[in-house]
Structure 1
Amino acid sequence: MSSAIDAVEEVAVRKAFRRLIGFLALMMFCAVMDRVNVGFAALSMNKDLGLSSFSFGLGASLFSLGYMLFEIPSNLMLARVGARLWFMRIMVTWALLSMATSLATGPMSFYVLRFLLGVAEAGLFPGILFFLGCWFPGRVRARTNAVFLIAMPLGQSLTALLSGPILEMNGLWGLHGWQWLFILEGLPTLFIGIAAWFYLSDRPREARWLSPAEQEALENMVQREKVTLGKLDTSNHLAVFGDRHVVALGVLYALISIVLTGVPLWLPQIVRTLDLSYAVVGVLVAIPPLLGTLAMVFWGRSSDRKGERIWHIACAMLTCAVGWLLAVGYLYFGWGGPWLLILGLVVANAGVLGAIAVFWTLPALILSGTAAASGIAFVSAVGNIGSIIGPIVFGHLRDISQGFAGPSAFMMAIAAMAGIFLPALVGVLPKLSQARSKADRDLQSCAPVATKR
């Protein structure tokens, strides 16, 4: 009887994976496009709107501020009204505001539109993670996270390849190239947001594409994880916010977010210092995230296979620091030529993307029940403090140094701090150690599901 149940569970997980992960990745792709294209728009927009590097960084930070302030309310609303309705609301409103950025006429209008865009998009990423937690057991979550999150580097690569030629449309119908960029790259989000209402199901029991036995199997797997040893399970959301394990994850994510936000935001301007055309800049900027895709998949599988999370995150962030060190070597010392810069950016991007693929397995191993929605959103919201601080500091360093060597050294230091932060805390945060052993037990007890093709 047990083997029959296991077989149904395997089939249900594979069906859910095929049905959901691709569409969720497409949603994340749109979010990445929205965040990356402003970095390309800056190549000509900053001059047209009178933006310094600090002003541009401030606009990027205001987006993150709006996102952070409304992230937890958005995720709680998602848990109340259902994922497909709330995902549609998020994507449609952010698509319209993204396209409206083409109407910016100066710094103030740029600031207002970026803040409102952050408010509109708030909750998408933690909402997707919460949604995944309603569908997939922890034993395969690093892999599902990695496959879903490959939309981040793929989105960066494709946006880079598209944005260069779109910027060359400057003057068509009286619009600047950066205005075309916001209009054309906002349309896909609008259509996919509407499609989310028709395509997604809030929970396994509502999925008509699963058999009743498969619906029950998925629901039971997820419910079993809510009573796992060492998890928080409380209806008091404030208790989650005060838990030191959750706060530690938020601080770590803030450090990671500084680097994760900085790479796509400033990469076009860094490569532009090589005096290349927009199209060539787009091609070169596409290389680091494209190779980062391989790093995410490889590192996610390695983490699942070994049942280990902490050191996978640490090693990935230290690798990221080495990448930024190589970039500083070219930008400040002139070592190796332009290709050392590209290599450094490839290594830095691969490191931070590998870390983020594994990082988001940790909250699900510590949180459960009603704590999951608010806890994941809290970690993401605290992490967004890094997304607020990072662009401002980077832009300020760029203005005062008139180059990118100083800002790159800042990124190197932050990545190194993130690499040593979590291992240093494992001894005083017992639930992280329990989460590590729990991941190993899941791996050993459910190996057929984790390796099934």
Structure 2
Amino acid sequence: MSHISETLLVVPAAPADVYHKIGWRIMPFIVLCYLCGYLDRVNVGFAKLQMLNDLHMSDAVYGLGAGIFFIGYFIFEVPSNLILHRVGARLWIARIMITWAIISALTLLVKTPLQFYTARFFLGVAEAGFSPGIMLYLTYWFPARKRGFALGVYYIAIPLSGVVGGPLSGWVLSSFSHSTVMAGWQWLFLIEALPALVCGIAVFALMVDRPTQAKWLTENEKALVTSEIEREDAEKTTHHNLGAILSDRHIWKLCAVYFCQIIGLYGISFWLPSIIKDSGLSDVSTIGWLSAIPYLVAIPVIVLTGMSSDRFRSRRMHFSVLAVIGAIGFAASGYVGHHPALAVMWLSVAAAGILSALSLFWSIPSSFLAGTSVAVGIAGINCVGNLAGFVSPYAVGWLNVTTHDNRMGLYFVAACLVLGALLVRTISGQLADR
């Protein structure tokens, strides 16, 4: 590890309006890209409403297929982030988006469980590195004191994908259910892959790798932003080799916290339509519209909690409280019976807590890691944590089938969220709450 005292480099902080300018120029397109990617990742939750019957698959098969995405994601995530750090975000993000769009569309061809597993695995391979790559990209543009808000804006793409994807998916399934060309779920995979393909091509024209390359910043603004981030990075931890990174206990603690958080995230993403359906509804279009409500509720909460954590520098406390709120909402959704309104209400509480905590999480590792360490650290934490994306849908599906009680899977997810809220308190506040 290396640390450089503040006294060695004294540079005035860039004014807030520079970061507002940067935010308005880069964040809307980043949010759009992540929305497309997340939509392609989780639209299988809506396809499930028709696909399982058509292909004669069980919840357990679906859960394994939904989760196996993260095995491919796990294997290729760290190498992908290292390549991005070397060749630049513009080239690598474009490659990621174009390949995942193609593979997502090809999922419409699956006929057997093995083909379903294969398609999901290679979708994970294609998308590996996108999310940690964007988080690494944001460290090039925003210092720690502004990153909570930036990450909050970035993560509103998840609920936006629910707001847009829910009604869109429900409409596609309903409108194309009698198509003589393909089944509704096949049209779903094809139609929802197109935005990612278009955005992937647009990345070449619209994304700028570093502030120094931004033509829309003045030379003085470029210098202020670059010097502030360099000064901050000089005070952070850098590891000289992979062994030093792997031996850092703080990184492993964050892996455990993130693993618990991802259990909750994909509990919402993969099972929300099914929970609403189990509350007494059968029309897929109605389910699609109602599934947008929890995500819509989460959007302002994500932004406001990001601003609050920047202001009070209490990221661990914010994270813990929000994770527990998410757990309460998820557990309570198992008690609603045949009351769709109650199901949507408690799922809204769950989504607001889970997604807000998730957006705050990534401000913790980027607050004390720099250089190659932050590239590998973010990718490594995301890599290990996202194994929960395999565990979550499979465990919930297995519990539902084994116990014949859909509430058991919900309780499992809630318990993992509470565990994550406790684990984050074991991380040093001097590192996490900067």
The interval holding the TM-score normalised by the smaller chain is: over 0.9
**1:357 is the counterpart of 2:359:** yes
Q: 2:163 aligns with which of 153, 157, 161?
A: 157
Q: Helix, strand or coil for the counterpart of 2:160?
A: helix
AA aligned to 1:117 is L
CA contact (8 A) 2:151 2:362 kept: yes
The aligned counterpart of 1:429 is none
Residue 421 of structure 1 aligns to which amino acid in structure 2? L
Cα distance in 2, alignment partners of residues 303 and 182 from structure 1? 37
Between the two proteins, what is the percent identity of the paired residues?
38
Q: Once the 2 structures are TM-superposed, how far is the Cα of residue 341 of structure 1 from its aligned partner? A: 2.1
Instruction: Name the counterpart of 2:113.
Output: 107
Name whichever of 298-307 and 121-130 sits farther off: 298-307
Q: Is the 8 A contact 1:314 1:418 kept in 2?
A: yes
Instruction: Compare 234-243 and 28-37 and name the one that shifted more.
Output: 234-243
**2:270 maps to 1:265:** yes
The alignment status of 1:253 with 2:258, answered yes or no, reads yes
Change (3 A) 1:398 1:180: same
Tell me by how many angstroms 1:330 deviates.
2.3
1:199 and 2:206 equivalent? Answer: yes
1:15-30 superposed matches below 5 A: 15-30=21-36
Deviations for 1:372-431, whole angstroms, at most 9, x for unmatched residues? Answer: 1011100101111211111111110111233421111111211111122212x14xxxxx
How big is the shift at 1:8?
5.8
The answer to whether the aligner puts 1:178 opposite 2:185 as a matched pair is yes
Distance in 1 separating the partners of 2:329 and 2:145:
31
- Which among 426, 433, 436 is matched to residue 429 of structure 2? 433
Pick from 60, 63, 70 the counterpart of residue 57 of structure 1: 63
User: Equivalent residue for 2:349?
Assistant: 347
| Aligned equivalent of 2:386, options 369, 384, 387 | 384
Displacement of 1:214 in angstroms is 1.5
Contact 1:89 1:193 in 2 (8 A): yes
Aligned to 1:282: 288
CA displacement, residues 225-252 of structure 1 (integer Å, 9 cap, x when unaligned) = 1122xx3212313311221001100110
Match of 1:32 in 2: 38
Match of 2:247 in 1: 242
Cα offset for 1:328? Answer: 2.3
- For residue 91 of structure 1, the aligned residue among 91, 97, 101 is 97
The one-letter code sitting in structure 2 at the alignment partner of 1:78 is L
Offset at residue 50 of structure 1 (A): 2.2
Q: Separation in 2 of the partners of 1:6 and 1:223?
A: 12
Q: Which has the higher helix share?
A: 1
Provide Cα deviations, 1:114-156, integer angstroms capped at 9, x if missing partner. Answer: 0000000000000000000011111010001001110110111
Matched residues, number: 422
Which runs of 4 or more aligned residues in structure 1 lie more than 6 Å from their structure 2 counterparts after TM superposition?
none
Normalising to structure 2: TM-score of the pair? 0.94
Unaligned runs of 5+ in 2: 1-10
Q: Cα distance 1:68–1:421, how it changes in 2: closer, same or farther (>3 A)?
A: same
Deviation at 1:191, TM superposition (A): 0.6
Of 220, 224, 227, the match for 2:231: 224
Letter in 2 for 1:393: A
**Offset of residue 45 of structure 1:** 0.5
Task: Give the aligned partner of residue 220 of structure 2.
Answer: 213
> In the aligned structure 2, how far is the partner of 1:36 from the partner of 1:105?
19
Aligned-residue Cα RMSD (Å) equals 1.5
Distance, in Å, in 1 between the alignment partners of 2:94 and 2:255 is 27
In the superposition, relative to structure 1, how do residues 203 and 175 fare at CA in structure 2: closer, same or farther (>3 Å)? Answer: same
Give the AA of the match of 1:178. Answer: W
